[in-house]
């Protein structure tokens, strides 16, 4: 069977986030090579050097939160392992070779070299049959892959050494490989973590001369707190779990590492499957650390895919009960439960602190949820603290809805018992359900009043903002969203109470819509800011509202209100039963409101209209008898103050300043 290397590479996918995989594969090959040569002396005798070469002309300026770094031109991996002897060369030539199956080799790692890099140049000095030989070739994206092969036997005065030089980074992976040396070294360390831990790892040195970096990766083990391996059984499968704590650095997180053949394959967030929070925890020596769990086992060795970037286990399928495999989702949650038990003291302390922060937030910011502290403490403690009021309000609201559903179900159950039982025997149940109903109702009231207070606070800040930055639409949308009608807007999405709570009972209300789109019969395209009809026989009342942005005084709002009233009187309307009414009768009162800034010029408009000024209240009022139109013009500050005064008793009753 022949293989077209170009076709094989073209059909092999490698995500950009895995752009360091070729380097990992080369390093692991070097580890295997040194282990084969030195056996138990590998740690003492084995040597691997990784050298990054950078192009000073290739500097990426768009990297965020770190200084510009020169681009990588090539990476050279050198080791003193057995090298490319005849056996290893034949294995290299063979696709999907099983030569290193016992070591976890899939025989495809070298293909990733040509996905990310243009070519790999290999130089190897090795000993075979007591003769020192040298082999050199280039691994390229040609049909056969092996180019320029040279072999020289019987050489003298050279050390056994193999050098793999990964050259010509492909454009697709250029940016993803544009990494600081410290980050590359850290990722190599994490990928090969198990080799460092088991004590059979050669000395691995990472060099980035352009960044003046020289790191012995083995030294990183000293930064860790490692515990002995713990066994964990899932179904019929035995897993081996090692808990490791690493000093907290920026960008770190608590992580589960699924390993195959002593190599990390996939990483998962530990807080996503356990009760551990996202913040660093306190380690044994008092410093902040991130907790890592490295998991190994035969089932993971068997399930790693050929490119070694994922564990091919069924996802969210109930195979555990049959003992034929491991469902990845359940595997992760089992590991999360294992961590919960292992770190129970730390997690409990975290929970206590978390609950304390949630309680403080409720008591100081959202008192409408106060009853949850005593009624649902367990569920409340499961909300993860974040310094984000929007997130907290959403989570608390969802919990409140859960509580309301329970109360409603309790009420239904008690009502059923009353229908066929002794009321006196149900006294305790009745007392409980009434207490819960009252508590839930009070919570809703507190929430609603708190919303009113917040709206008034926002409106006050808005109208006092620098002139020119606040538009009429800003004020308008707070009261009632534009281009909407009452049928399109929920009760919680408007604030008509700023004018009058009774407006919510008006059957027809439009906001910034043409008169021809309302219940009026007129074909006028004029658009009152707010138009409300209270129906009766045929109408009981009509309300008109006009807004002007702060400090605008270039037009008379009263003339607009009069124009709208005339159109309504002359144009007619429709009765709710759809019968055309020739006009809005003079007997139907129309109230017209204008919310403006009462500048000197605006006050002049009011005097011309012969309106009367109310001292101390900063408002004008008047009456147009011909239109039965009552007019009130309020300064923006007076508008907010009146709304504040109407609601002050509610704020006082609930101890809201």
pLDDT score for 156: 86
Confidence of residue 259 (pLDDT cuts 50, 70, 90): confident
Query: What is the arithmetic mean of pLDDT over 462-479?
Result: 71
Query: What is the arithmetic mean of pLDDT over 470-480?
Result: 77
pLDDT score for 319: 44
Query: What is the arithmetic mean of pLDDT over 16-26?
Result: 89
For residue 24, the surrounding DSSP H or E stretch is helix 21-38
Confidence of residue 100 (pLDDT cuts 50, 70, 90): very low
Confidence of residue 413 (pLDDT cuts 50, 70, 90): low
pLDDT at residue 79 tops 90: yes
pLDDT score for 5: 63
Confidence of residue 33 (pLDDT cuts 50, 70, 90): very high
Q: What angle do CA 13, 15, 21 make, to 5 degrees?
A: 90
pLDDT at residue 641 tops 90: no
Is residue 574 within 8 Å of residue 581, measured between CB atoms? yes
pLDDT score for 98: 41
pLDDT at residue 101 tops 50: no
Query: What is the arithmetic mean of pLDDT over 126-147?
Result: 90
Highest mean pLDDT among 203-207, 549-553, 581-585: 203-207
Give the percent of the chain with pLDDT over 70: 77
For residue 539, the surrounding DSSP H or E stretch is strand 539-547
Q: How far is CA 646 from CA 456, 457, 634, 642, in A?
A: 12, 15, 16, 6
Is residue 115 within 8 Å of residue 17, measured between CB atoms? no
More confident of the two residues 601 and 644: 601
Is residue 292 within 8 Å of residue 342, measured between CB atoms? no
Query: What is the arithmetic mean of pLDDT over 374-378?
Result: 82
Query: What is the arithmetic mean of pLDDT over 485-511?
Result: 76
Task: Quote the tokens at residue 146.
Answer: 């092996």
pLDDT digits (tens, 9 = 90+) for 139-196: 988 877 889 999 999 888 889 999 999 999 988 888 888 888 999 998 898 888 778 8
pLDDT at residue 328 tops 90: no
More confident of the two residues 230 and 365: 230
CB atoms within 10 A of CB 59: 14
Query: What is the arithmetic mean of pLDDT over 375-379?
Result: 83
CA 26, CA 10: separation in Å to the nearest integer? 20
Confidence of residue 434 (pLDDT cuts 50, 70, 90): low
Which of these ranges, 59-63, 459-463, 483-487, has the smallest mean pLDDT? Answer: 59-63
pLDDT score for 582: 53
Give the percent of the chain with pLDDT over 90: 26
Confidence of residue 67 (pLDDT cuts 50, 70, 90): low
DSSP 353-411: HHHHHHHHHHHHT-GGGTHHHHH-HHHHHTSPP-S-HHHHHHHHHHHHHHHHHHHHHHH
Confidence of residue 121 (pLDDT cuts 50, 70, 90): very high
pLDDT score for 26: 93
More confident of the two residues 255 and 94: 255
Is residue 83 within 8 Å of residue 151, measured between CB atoms? no
CA 383, CA 548: separation in Å to the nearest integer? 44
Highest mean pLDDT among 44-58, 103-117, 155-169: 155-169
Phi, psi of 541 (to 5 degrees): -165, 150
pLDDT score for 1: 38
Pairing of strands 161-169, 117-128: antiparallel
CA 301, CA 104: separation in Å to the nearest integer? 7
Confidence of residue 103 (pLDDT cuts 50, 70, 90): very low
pLDDT score for 256: 92
Which of these ranges, 32-41, 95-104, 257-266, 554-563, has the smallest mean pLDDT? Answer: 95-104
Which of these ranges, 45-54, 57-66, 361-370, has the smallest mean pLDDT? Answer: 57-66
pLDDT score for 18: 84
pLDDT score for 104: 40
pLDDT at residue 275 tops 80: yes
Which of these ranges, 269-278, 428-437, 510-519, has the smallest mean pLDDT? Answer: 428-437
pLDDT digits (tens, 9 = 90+) for 589-640: 999 999 998 999 999 999 988 899 998 889 999 999 999 999 999 998 888 8
More confident of the two residues 631 and 67: 631
pLDDT at residue 432 tops 70: no
Phi, psi of 638 (to 5 degrees): -65, -40
**Average of per-residue pLDDT values in the chain:** 80
pLDDT score for 105: 40
Confidence of residue 47 (pLDDT cuts 50, 70, 90): very high
pLDDT score for 102: 39
pLDDT digits (tens, 9 = 90+) for 529-540: 888 887 665 567
What is the end-to-end Cα distance of the chain in Å, rounded? Answer: 84
- Bridge partners of 514, per DSSP, are none
Is residue 245 within 8 Å of residue 339, measured between CB atoms? no
**CA nearest 84: which of 133, 40, 49, 48?**
133
More confident of the two residues 340 and 551: 340
pLDDT at residue 324 tops 70: no
pLDDT digits (tens, 9 = 90+) for 283-295: 877 788 999 999 9
Which of these ranges, 16-25, 30-39, 270-279, 364-373, has the smallest mean pLDDT? Answer: 364-373
More confident of the two residues 389 and 307: 389
Pairing of strands 288-296, 255-260: parallel
Confidence of residue 525 (pLDDT cuts 50, 70, 90): confident
Query: What is the arithmetic mean of pLDDT over 567-592?
Result: 70
Q: How far is CA 58 from CA 53, 308, 364, 655, in A?
A: 12, 30, 53, 63
- Bridge partners of 629, per DSSP, are 590, 624
Which of these ranges, 35-39, 80-84, 422-426, 456-460, has the smallest mean pLDDT? Answer: 422-426
Task: Quote the tokens at residue 267.
Answer: 């990483």
pLDDT score for 411: 64
pLDDT at residue 200 tops 90: no
């Amino acid at each position: 069977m022949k293989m077209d290397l170009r076709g094989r590479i073209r059909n092999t996918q490698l995500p950009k986030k895995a752009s360091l995989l070729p380097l990992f594969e080369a390093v692991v090959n070097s580890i295997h090579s040194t282990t084969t040569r030195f056996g138990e002396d590998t740690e003492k005798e084995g040597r691997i050097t990784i050298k990054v070469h950078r192009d000073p002309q290739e500097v990426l300026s768009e990297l965020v939160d770190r200084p510009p770094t020169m681009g990588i031109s090539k990476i050279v991996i050198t080791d003193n392992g057995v090298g490319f002897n005849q056996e290893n060369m034949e294995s290299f030539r063979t696709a999907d070779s099983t030569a290193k199956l016992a070591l976890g080799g899939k025989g495809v790692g070298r293909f990733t070299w040509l996905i990310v890099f243009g070519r790999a140049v290999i130089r190897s000095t090795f000993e075979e049959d007591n003769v020192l030989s040298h082999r050199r070739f280039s691994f390229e994206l040609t049909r056969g892959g092996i180019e320029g092969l040279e072999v020289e036997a019987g050489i003298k005065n050279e050390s056994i050494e193999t050098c793999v030089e990964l050259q010509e980074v492909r454009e697709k992976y250029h940016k993803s490989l544009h990494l600081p040396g410290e980050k590359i070294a850290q990722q190599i360390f994490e990928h090969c973590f198990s080799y460092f831990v088991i004590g059979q790892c050669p000395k691995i040195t990472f060099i980035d001369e352009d960044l003046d970096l020289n790191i012995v990766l083995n030294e990183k083990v000293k930064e860790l707190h490692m515990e002995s391996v713990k066994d964990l059984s899932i179904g019929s499968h035995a897993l081996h779990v090692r808990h490791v704590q690493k000093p907290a650095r920026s960008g770190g997180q608590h992580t589960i590492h699924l390993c195959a053949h002593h190599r990390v394959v996939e990483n998962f967030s530990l807080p996503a499957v356990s009760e551990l929070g996202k913040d660093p925890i306190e380690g044994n020596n008092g410093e902040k650390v991130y907790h890592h769990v490295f998991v190994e086992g035969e089932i993971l060795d068997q399930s790693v895919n050929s490119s070694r970037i994922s564990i091919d286990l069924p996802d969210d399928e109930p195979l555990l009960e049959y003992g034929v495999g491991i469902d990845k989702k359940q595997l992760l949650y089992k590991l999360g439960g294992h961590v919960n038990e292992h770190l129970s003291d730390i997690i409990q302390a975290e929970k206590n602190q978390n609950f304390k922060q949630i309680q403080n937030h409720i008591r100081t910011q959202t008192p409408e949820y106060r009853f949850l502290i005593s009624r649902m403490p367990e569920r409340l403690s499961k909300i993860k603290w974040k310094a984000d009021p929007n997130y907290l309000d959403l989570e608390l609201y969802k919990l409140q809805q859960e509580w309301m559903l329970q109360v409603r179900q309790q009420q239904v159950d008690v009502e059923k018992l009353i229908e066929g039982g002794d009321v006196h025997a149900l006294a305790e149940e009745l007392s409980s359900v009434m207490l819960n109903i009252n508590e839930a109702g009070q919570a809703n009231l507190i929430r609603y009043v708190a919303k009113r207070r917040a709206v008034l606070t926002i409106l006050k800040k808005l109208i006092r903002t620098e002139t020119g930055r606040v538009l009429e639409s800003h004020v308008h949308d707070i009261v009632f969203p534009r281009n909407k009608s009452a049928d399109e807007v929920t009760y919680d999405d408007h604030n008509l109470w700023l004018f009058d709570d009774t407006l919510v009972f008006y059957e027809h209300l439009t906001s910034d819509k043409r008169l021809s789109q309302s219940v009026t019969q007129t074909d006028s395209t004029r658009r009152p800011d707010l138009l409300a009809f209270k129906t009766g026989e045929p109408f009981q009342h009509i309300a008109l509202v006009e807004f002007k942005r702060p400090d605008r005084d270039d037009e008379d709002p009263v003339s607009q209100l009069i124009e709208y009233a005339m159109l309504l009187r002359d144009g007619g309307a429709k009765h709710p039963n759809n019968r055309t009414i020739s006009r809005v009768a003079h007997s139907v009162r129309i109230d017209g409101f204008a919310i403006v800034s009462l500048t000197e010029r605006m006050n002049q408009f009011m005097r011309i209209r012969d309106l009367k000024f109310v001292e101390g209240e900063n408002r004008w009022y008047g009456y147009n008898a011909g239109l039965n139109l009552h007019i009130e013009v309020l300064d923006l500050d007076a508008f907010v103050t009146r709304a504040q005064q109407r609601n002050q008793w509610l704020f006082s009753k609930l101890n809201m300043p």
